[in-house]
Structure 1
Amino acid sequence: MRLTSLLPDGEPNCLVLKVRQMLIMLDCGLGQEQLYAMPVREGGLTEDHKDNSHNATPTGSTTDNATAGSKRKLQETDIRQDWASFLKASSTQFPTKKMARGPNSLQSHSSKTDSATTGTTSSGSTSTANGTIQAAGSNAPSKSMATREYMFKLPDFSGVDLKAIDVVLISNYNHILALPYLTEYTDFQGRIFATEPTIEFGRQLMIEFVTFFGTSVTSSPHEIIDRKELVARAGAGLYPAYTHADIKACIDKIQPVRFREHISLFGSLKLTAHSAGYCLGSSNWLIQIGTENIAYVSSSSTQGNLHPDLFDGTLLENASTVVATDLCPRGSFTYNTGVNLVCQSIASTIARKGNVLIPCTITGFLFDLLEDVHLHLNRMGLIGQVQYSFISPVADTALQYSNILAEWMAPRKQEMVYIPEAPLLHGLLLEKEKGIAKHYKSVHGAFSSDLKLPCIVFGGHPSLRSGPMVNLLHMWGNKATNTIVFIEPRMDVVAAMEPYENLAIAQQAVQLDIRLSVDQLVEVMNKYRHPRHILVPMRAIASTLPDGTVELADAKRTTSTSSTRWSVYKVGESVQLGMGSLYESVLLSEELAKGILPQAFGKVSFAPIAGSLSIYNNQMQLKPASVQGRQLLSLYTQRLLLGVMNLPHLLAGLTAIGVTNMDVSESEEKEGKEDKDTGVPEIKVEFELQGQAATIILREKETIVKCDENIRSLLREPILKCFQSF
């Protein structure tokens, strides 16, 4: 077995597992660290959206009819003025500083990509070292910055024969964004499996990704770049986003599966999805090839008070090898601790009439966080003063779809369907006539007219390089009463806020993480049957001992034992493990089976089988040998013996070949030094034949002949007559 990671630890998963003749890809995530080195761009809007937003006049933008004593009118006036100022400046961007992001920086672009995406520098502007355009003598960047096409780091496909990949297994929607590159721009011909929620939420995240970072928001057409050529030589640089047509074609290729549904492929390959407890439809996979069971544990959670179905550890009971990925980094907030801090920060902001921005995807534990925040605000008496807004190109779809997936939820949430009541709180809030919660595709249009202060806004891309949060930071960032709260665990908060370092908005970083920590992983492994091998990423390792043994970063500093071996995998390095079984099942062809004639030996029947072995699609089959094959088999044909040595028959046979003086003795052969009271009974026959001394030792399960090679052929016949043969 060989495992190779195609993305660095900390990025979404993408691994390749080779077991015997099978090549299996585990997840297909997209690296996004390089986003922090890219210029900030207005909200990921198409040209049509921009035109509509600039042509629209906010209702009630004047205050001629407002009374001096009306606080409500004054508040509305402030909102309209803020919004009018935002619309007027929406074509400008925040200045982007030169940021050194290591090997993933823009310096790895190919020359063809640079020429296609840099754009033309306008008069009076300068080009920074990393290629971003900034207006000289002005805090506002040039409009040519908006023509820059975003580039992304694909998994390093260069060392993998993509045409040979048999199966792709997707564990959850966080590890699916690179899949269209694989299916649409390479020679991949395998099959893809994922649960229904993973497919749908993955599609939504792809649409949001293309809307924010695709070419629909740039002035340069996407099609001028030969993406298939770029992907084919992956590993050397960054690549542009795919298109909406690619998303549809990719999603159509995924086969949906259910939890504990058994899938059989290529004869001996069996796949089973088990609940990972992380998000709706998140799954761990049990891979069975012959007698080998491999458990793939990805983005799992044992948090019991969230809405996804609970973690199913039964896949570990018979697993001989476990591949554990996407673990929680050390020092992260636990959900129970972090959610209290988030609720306190939001409540204090609402109490001072400020707005709260929460950059996140409209999926995952956001649904649970909303319930906690709503309950906390209700206890504080602030619930009547707040409005929840969800802004995303797929906000409507994500919110509605999540509430019809009760069968994928925890038992307590499933029971709410029979009340009947929406399993998740946002379903009830969106139905209320007071409009306490609403969803929007962008910040332009209805959001401006519906806006009420104070407001809690969810949505946008966590990198803050594109999406509605860029627009809202432009609108509300200069007011210290407002707060931006970071909750996404993968986010680099310092890098995300670097272009906005001069804003007065308050910042709160509480990155909620429900993934398994190293301590929880060790606890889970101890709870079930110990596997022989457990593979973990670098973040799970504290140190490597001089003898090569890894020491885990858990509280007990766990190391390998005689029964369980812990190993670490790194990006670009292959880890090889020996398979546990020495035998494989082989099918007999119908033609060969018809020619088998068993012979009875007491209560047991045996039959010799000879044929040519063929292996196709990981399935082994014995077929009748060809003419040349029969000639080869005849060279190796041997008589097979069955039965127990009969001493009288042996003595008679020896007498027949001229042995006269035979010394027969019976004793016990000791099995070991520690147990001297037990032994194996044996009979020893000593004699001379043609002047050569010989000894035959008879035991229950073996016969040993000690003699010179010159007389061995003479002893053959007396011994064979003591057994049955076929």
Structure 2
Amino acid sequence: VPIYIISSVAEELLAFTNIIPEWLCKQRQEKLFSGEPLFAHVKLIKERKIHVFPAVHSVELLTNWQEPCVVFCPHWSLRLGPVVHLLRYWCSDPNSLLILEGGDDANLAILPFKPMAMKVLQCSFLSGISLQKVQPLLKALQPKLLLFPKDLRCKIQISEANTIIHYSENETLCMPSSKESTEIDIATDLASQFHWKTLKQETVTRLDGELFMDQGKHRLLSGFRQADSKQHRPLLHWGSPDLKRLLTELSKMGITGTLKKNMDSAESKNAAGIIDIDDPEKALIDVRETGTVIITADENLASRIFKAIDIVLDGI
């Protein structure tokens, strides 16, 4: 009888069973040194008796599906995940068996699937460690952050963790991040489009894609492909435009103007000032230390002036 484990995190969790052997009993540690599997599931996976799949609609699962079978899958509430599809498929079969964690209200859990012919069994799957082993474990691990039940803090004194957050059942907690920055996986085609520029001693680039987050991992994938990224003007500029250079660029475009007001100083190369445009249409360019304003009734002229400023300034 094949055993199927359907979960998006099952493969990763099963891999963890082999990375910390020092916390295992001596018998299992001896298996490690002799090259034997630490747990029975490793052997069963190699013998293809246990099959691990990320989703119920996986192509590999559909092609390998056999009945009768044993399936482990979330969610314990029977309201989401692969279990919903499987229960709708098996609920009318009296030869099927549903095993639930003890303590949950089974009648409430199976309510959406009634009338139900399949058998239901509740079992207790005890896990965890005793309070006597908590103190030595924390002393050895020296955790930076510890989550501890509120109802147990009066039974044990904890001083090994830098930060202790107590929680109770059905309580939502805000967890501090252990990283100052977040890692992100960027698609290869996007990574090939990097054009680095320096902004205030920081190296930056501009990317256009779709950001996804799944299982705590961030991914940036290609979105709708645009005709030519070079044709799209920068979304961010920095610095103040050099007024003389700006007049030169405007002149190349057939736009004439004069520097009407100039508050130049010996300390500032890019001084604040006002450029008065008189041809082909009236316009005003107000350049200040905090920003540059283009004033004109002609949208086409405003676009050309912006293009000239874009050439003068750095941007991404």
Band the TM-score falls in, shorter-chain normalisation: 0.3 to 0.5
Scaled by the length of structure 2, the TM-score of the pair is 0.43
Structure possessing the higher relative contact order (Cα contacts under 8 Å, 6 or more residues apart): 1
Instruction: Choose 1 or 2 for highest CA Rg.
Output: 1
Q: TM-score, structure 1 length as denominator?
A: 0.22
